[in-house]
Amino acid sequence: MASTRTPHQIRNFVAGQFIDGVATFEKRSPVDGSLVSEVHEAGRVHVNAAVDAARTALETGWAAASVQKRVTLMRRVADIIERRFEDFVAAESADTGKPLGLVREADVPRAAANFRSFADTVASAGLHSYLTELNDGRSALNYAVRKPLGVVAVVVPWNLPLLLLTWKVAPALACGNTVVVKPSEETPATATLLAEVMAEAGVPAGVYNVVHGFGPDSAGEFLTTHPGIDGVTFTGESGTGSTIMRAVAASVKPVSFELGGKNAAVVFADANLDKAVDGLARSVFLNTGQVCLCTERVYVERPIFDEVAAGLAERARALRLGRPDDPNTTTGPLISLGHREKVLSYLKLAQDEGAGVIAGGGVPALGGDLDAGAWIEPTLWTGLDNSHRTVREEVFGPVAALIPFDTEAEAVRLANDTAYGLAAVTWTSNLERGHRVAQQMRVGMSWVNTWYLRDLRSPFGGVALSGIGREGGEHSMHFYTEPTNVCVQL
């Protein structure tokens, strides 16, 4: 058992120094419950010091540094992440229990890509100016100077810890902001490793700070209620977004929120069924269903309902749950026993609501150490409809409800009948229908015949309970900079 080894110490990073907190808490592996690390929880005093350090760094050079200098440093950060690739893979997998193959394929490459992509965006950003001509013969030159927002609070969740963190830190720093980062208490390691990378790359002390801890009455609340921050970029649950919004409302700080989802897929009878079922299996089960974009509602045109249900159930049963370092593992555990309690409560609720279980439905018996982990069976339900809570509330696990429909209009209505609005997928071979349906989806991201295919320049975010604002490429620059318009009469 790994619990007898000396635990790895995870410290806060403030003004270029690793510092202790007011207490420590244990980070345990969701794979087998073994001790991964001891994390130093930041108190209010440490959060205050981090915000002060970020302010000082902002005002003593970083905001005024040339774009060339910032962009060069961001590219260097990407290079060092790639050099330390396996360190990041090991840290991310230890905290989350994700299969190593998934972390190597998705999480760590995206972290490097985030720094390169936003370096490119900022390096190539154009200046927009225009002439104003008045009827009385006067004219004026208008141009907008984009300035950093300032000290940005970055609060992120546990499901894609490094990927989502760098998605925000890279554009924030490239635009000349300084940041105080609050990673999830479940996944403190890679944000801390990134601090080492920042220091090695030569990013000045105070530009990137990390405070560890929880949400309420801990580092998350201390940071988001701090008067010294200039804005909050947050990814996490919709309820937490609402709390943070209230925290910054009094001082009218800008927020960028990427929140929860209850995402729909719509499968028409004219779809390429093999491709659709493979795509559905990926969108329901990837990362044990713990991607905000994952599908939890699958609407299937009635004539193909049984075939799609059988195909998806077969793929669910083919998933291999196991240790991250086993090359046959396709699926890791949930993030924690606490989160599994939540997912299990929905498995029970689905039963109470009369669901038929066509795959999974409980806790797998994996044996040995793994029985202390947060494992759950990939689960599919039939017999539910949009009136059921299981179909309306975000579960955030490897689960989906399959529901039949008869017409295109009904499919669109059912998909849009939700308080959320993050992502949707349409599976069809009819080109016109694909475009027509995709545009009607009331979401931020609407895919056709694919899922999670991303261009980092495209807008990312959600509507309704799924968020506020968009990030990605120039959309990120709108959040991380403030324009001052200058008007000169000629």
> Annotated active-site positions, please?
258, 292
| CA pair distance 289, 378, nearest whole angstrom | 9
Of residues 132, 208, 273, 237, the one with CA closest to residue 462? 237
Residue 224 binding ligand NAD, by CB under 6 A: yes
Residue 215 binding ligand NAD, by CB under 6 A: yes
Q: How far is the CB of 294 from ligand NAD (least distance, A)?
A: 8
**Residue found by looking up tokens 């894609």 in the block:** 160
Integer-rounded Cα Rg, in Å, for the chain is: 23
Residue 248 binding ligand NAD, by CB under 6 A: no
Q: How far is the CB of 85 from ligand NAD (least distance, A)?
A: 23
319-322: which pairs have CB atoms within 8 A and are 24 or more residues apart? Answer: 319/285, 319/378, 319/398, 321/364, 321/366, 321/375, 321/377, 322/99, 322/366, 322/370
Nearer to ligand NAD, 243 or 416 (CB): 243
Residue 126 binding ligand NAD, by CB under 6 A: no
| CA pair distance 326, 183, nearest whole angstrom | 27
Residue 421 binding ligand NAD, by CB under 6 A: no
| CA pair distance 455, 434, nearest whole angstrom | 19
Nearer to ligand NAD, 10 or 201 (CB): 10
Nearer to ligand NAD, 259 or 425 (CB): 259
Burial class (CB in 10 A: 0-12, 13-18, 19+), 5: exposed
Of residues 77, 98, 47, 107, the one with CA closest to residue 169? 77
Q: How far is the CB of 464 from ligand NAD (least distance, A)?
A: 12
Tell me the longest C-alpha to C-alpha distance in the chain: 85
| CA pair distance 204, 74, nearest whole angstrom | 12
User: From the list 34, 56, 243, 416, which residue makes contact with ligand NAD (rule: CB under 6 A)?
Assistant: 243
Q: How far is the CB of 220 from ligand NAD (least distance, A)?
A: 3
Nearer to ligand NAD, 121 or 263 (CB): 263
Residue 393 binding ligand NAD, by CB under 6 A: no
- Candidates 14-22, 179-187, 265-273, 427-435: pick the segment binding ligand NAD (CB under 6 A): 179-187
Residue 469 binding ligand NAD, by CB under 6 A: no
- Candidates 7-15, 220-228, 402-410, 433-441: pick the segment binding ligand NAD (CB under 6 A): 220-228
Q: How far is the CB of 88 from ligand NAD (least distance, A)?
A: 18
User: From the list 52, 95, 221, 353, which residue makes contact with ligand NAD (rule: CB under 6 A)?
Assistant: 221
Q: How far is the CB of 3 from ligand NAD (least distance, A)?
A: 24
Q: How far is the CB of 398 from ligand NAD (least distance, A)?
A: 14
Burial 140-160 (b: 16+ CB within 10 A, else e): eeeeeebebbbbbbbbbbbbb
| CA pair distance 444, 390, nearest whole angstrom | 22
User: From the list 236, 279, 289, 473, which residue makes contact with ligand NAD (rule: CB under 6 A)?
Assistant: 236
User: From the list 112, 154, 179, 259, which residue makes contact with ligand NAD (rule: CB under 6 A)?
Assistant: 259
User: From the list 157, 332, 360, 469, which residue makes contact with ligand NAD (rule: CB under 6 A)?
Assistant: 157
Q: How far is the CB of 241 from ligand NAD (least distance, A)?
A: 7
Type of residue found at 105: E
Residue 452 binding ligand NAD, by CB under 6 A: no
- Candidates 91-99, 173-181, 258-266, 473-481: pick the segment binding ligand NAD (CB under 6 A): 258-266
Residue 214 binding ligand NAD, by CB under 6 A: yes
How far are the Cα atoms of 162, 365, 377, 487 from residue 318, in angstroms, in the given order?
Answer: 28, 16, 11, 64
- Candidates 90-98, 111-119, 296-304, 460-468: pick the segment binding ligand NAD (CB under 6 A): 460-468
Instruction: Estimate to the nearest angstrom the gap between the alpha carbon of 88 and the chain centroid.
Output: 17
| CA pair distance 45, 32, nearest whole angstrom | 35
| CA pair distance 473, 170, nearest whole angstrom | 11
CB of 464 closer than 8 Å to CB of 419: yes
Residue 301 binding ligand NAD, by CB under 6 A: no
Residue 261 binding ligand NAD, by CB under 6 A: yes
| CA pair distance 296, 284, nearest whole angstrom | 6
Q: How far is the CB of 191 from ligand NAD (least distance, A)?
A: 10
Residue 33 binding ligand NAD, by CB under 6 A: no
Torsions phi, psi for 466 (to 5 deg) = -90, 0
User: From the list 29, 117, 159, 295, which residue makes contact with ligand NAD (rule: CB under 6 A)?
Assistant: 159
Residue 422 binding ligand NAD, by CB under 6 A: yes
Residue 216 binding ligand NAD, by CB under 6 A: yes
Residue 137 binding ligand NAD, by CB under 6 A: no
How far are the Cα atoms of 231, 237, 295, 437, 447 from residue 423, in angstroms, in the given order?
Answer: 25, 15, 8, 13, 8
Residue 158 binding ligand NAD, by CB under 6 A: yes
Using CB under 6 A as the criterion, which residues of the chain lie in contact with ligand NAD when the complex forms? Answer: 155-159, 164, 182, 184-185, 214-216, 220-221, 224, 235-237, 240, 243-244, 258-261, 292, 394, 396, 422, 462, 466-467
